[in-house]
């Protein structure tokens, strides 16, 4: 296309620049009209303090400066005020470091623009995992959903880093498909910037890589982790202990923090502990079973298993932020691709209906009387719907084996 119309590349580049400028201006106006409170604030405050004063991101002075931007003083937890403490591992600070050179309003607006561009990119990468292309309408609808559903909206408004981790995971899957194992390992190492989000999918890919003897990927992953995490000790030798102390003070790391435990506790409070643990065990056994099926066969089911793993991981990771649910874009693209591959042109009405239901269901937590930062029971409906869609695709595959014809590597 570009060879036939060489001017098209320039037009597309100019359009992209205009989009970025337009988003940045709109975000600047939004930032000026809202409070300074956001999940991006601890990142910016820690980056600013490290670049200007050489302070540790876990220093109490960094937290006090962030709280002062919101309240004009230190936060008062007794009044229900949130303290903007940096709770992430030191390497998570790397993407935000350049933003520490800007004032907070400008930094937040540019960061929001980066996230707004990243969400549709993840969708494009997720669809690129499959051997056959999809129609433009399906791609456009899914890209629109990534921005309009509640996890995407919260990610942008609050400036959460989750989508960058999801982009790294999706890029790693695409690199695996194209047998670019070194790039896959590097991207997987970037996914450790928010460990609890990508941990389950990362573990699956490591197990798969060892089983398939993809040693380049494993070595690149190990090297990337050493550079990212080990390199942080060059800046602050005791950062891991400081991070641990901060986590102990700020959150409860017990088993009852999982979404599965929350769901059981909401439905059957008297049986929360026993049933919650049982659900966690069942979810884990389900993953082990699917992983085992893949590892003893070829890799035609790898995209499905990766998508299913990403979906089930929502029930296992701590429910820290709604933005963590952006990892569901991977199973969403998988379900949409298989629906189109099943019905071709007739898939239009079904995909539109499903995407519409998913958007509406994802916004249900917003209409609760109280909305907290941690996802609640209603937030588990989208992953449940996607699990049903993925299970349906598995059922159909077993009854129409020719549906799986195509690329056998991913």
**pLDDT tens track for 177-210:** 999 999 999 999 999 998 888 889 999 999 999 9
Average pLDDT over residues 302-318: 86
**How much is the pLDDT for 345?**
61
pLDDT band at 133 (very low <50, low <70, confident <90, very high): confident
Q: What is the DSSP letter of 297?
A: S
pLDDT at 259: 55
The pLDDT of 80-102, averaged and rounded, is: 87
What spatial distance separates the first Cα and last Cα of the chain, rounded to whole Å? 27
Q: What residues contact residue 288 under an 8 Å CB cut-off, 6+ apart?
A: none
The sign of the dihedral angle between the CA atoms of 337, 341, 343, 345 is positive
Higher pLDDT, 370 or 386: 386
Q: Which two tokens stand for residue 152?
A: 């995407």
pLDDT band at 61 (very low <50, low <70, confident <90, very high): confident
Integer Cα distance of 261 and 270 in angstroms: 12
Cα 310–119–386 angle (5° rounding)?
35
| More confidently predicted of 217 and 336 | 217
| Mean pLDDT on 105-109 | 91
Q: What's the pLDDT band for 400 if we cut at 50, 70, 90?
A: low
pLDDT at residue number 118: 93
Counting Cβ atoms within 10 Å, is residue 225 exposed (0-12), middle (13-18) or buried (19+)? middle
Indicate the pLDDT class of residue 401, thresholds 50, 70 and 90: very low
Q: What is the mean pLDDT of the chain?
A: 81
Q: Which of 16-20, 226-230, 350-354 has the lowest mean pLDDT?
A: 16-20
pLDDT greater than 80 at residue 110: yes
Q: Does residue 405 carry a pLDDT above 60?
A: no
Domain boundaries, the chain: 87-404
Phi then psi for residue 314, to 5 deg, are -60, -30
The CA R_g of the chain, rounded to the nearest whole Å, is: 22
Element counts in the chain: helices (H) and strands (E): 18, 0
* pLDDT tier for residue 346 given thresholds of 50, 70 and 90: low
Q: Is the pLDDT of residue 222 over 80?
A: yes
Average pLDDT (90-119) is 92
Of the listed ranges 68-72, 105-109, 167-171, the one predicted with least confidence? 68-72
Binned at pLDDT 50, 70 and 90, residue 353 comes out as: confident
Measure CA 283 to chain center.
20
């Amino acid at each position: 296309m570009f060879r036939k119309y060489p001017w098209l590349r320039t037009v597309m580049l100019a359009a992209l620049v205009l989009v970025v400028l337009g988003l940045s201006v709109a975000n600047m106006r939004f930032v000026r009209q809202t409070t300074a409170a956001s999940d991006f604030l601890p990142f910016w405050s820690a980056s600013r303090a490290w670049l200007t004063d050489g302070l540790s991101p876990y220093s109490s002075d960094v937290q006090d400066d962030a709280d002062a931007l919101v309240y004009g003083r230190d936060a008062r937890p007794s009044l229900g005020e949130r303290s903007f403490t940096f709770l992430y591992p030191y390497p998570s600070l790397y993407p935000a470091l350049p933003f520490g050179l800007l004032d907070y309003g400008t930094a937040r607006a540019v960061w929001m623009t980066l996230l707004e561009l990243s969400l549709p990119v993840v969708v494009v990468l997720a669809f690129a995992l499959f051997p056959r292309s999809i129609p433009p309408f399906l791609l456009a609808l899914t890209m629109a959903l990534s921005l309009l559903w509640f996890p995407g909206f919260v990610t942008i408004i609050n400036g959460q880093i989750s989508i960058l981790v999801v982009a790294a995971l999706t890029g790693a899957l695409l690199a695996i498909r194209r047998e670019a194992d070194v790039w896959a390992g590097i991207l997987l190492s970037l996914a450790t910037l928010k460990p609890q989000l990508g941990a389950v999918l990362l573990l699956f890919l490591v197990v798969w890589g060892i089983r398939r003897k993809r040693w380049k990927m494993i070595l690149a992953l190990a090297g990337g982790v050493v550079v990212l995490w080990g390199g942080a000790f060059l800046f602050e030798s005791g950062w891991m202990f400081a991070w641990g102390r901060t986590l102990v003070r700020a959150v409860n790391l017990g088993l009852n923090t999982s979404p599965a435990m929350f769901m059981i506790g909401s439905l059957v409070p008297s049986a929360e502990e026993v049933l919650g643990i049982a659900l966690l065990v069942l979810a884990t056994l389900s993953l082990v079973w699917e992983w085992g099926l893949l590892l003893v066969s070829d890799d035609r089911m790898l995209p499905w298993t990766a998508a299913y793993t990403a979906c089930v991981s929502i029930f296992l990771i701590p429910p820290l932020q709604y933005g963590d649910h952006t990892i569901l874009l991977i199973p969403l693209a998988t379900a949409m691709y298989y629906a189109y591959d099943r019905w071709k042109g007739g898939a239009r009405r079904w995909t539109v209906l499903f995407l519409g239901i998913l958007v509406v269901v994802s916004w249900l937590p917003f209409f609760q009387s109280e909305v907290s930062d941690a996802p609640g029971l209603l937030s588990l409906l989208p992953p449940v719907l996607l699990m049903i869609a993925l299970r349906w695709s598995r059922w159909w595959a077993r009854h129409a084996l020719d549906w799986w014809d195509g690329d056998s590597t991913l």
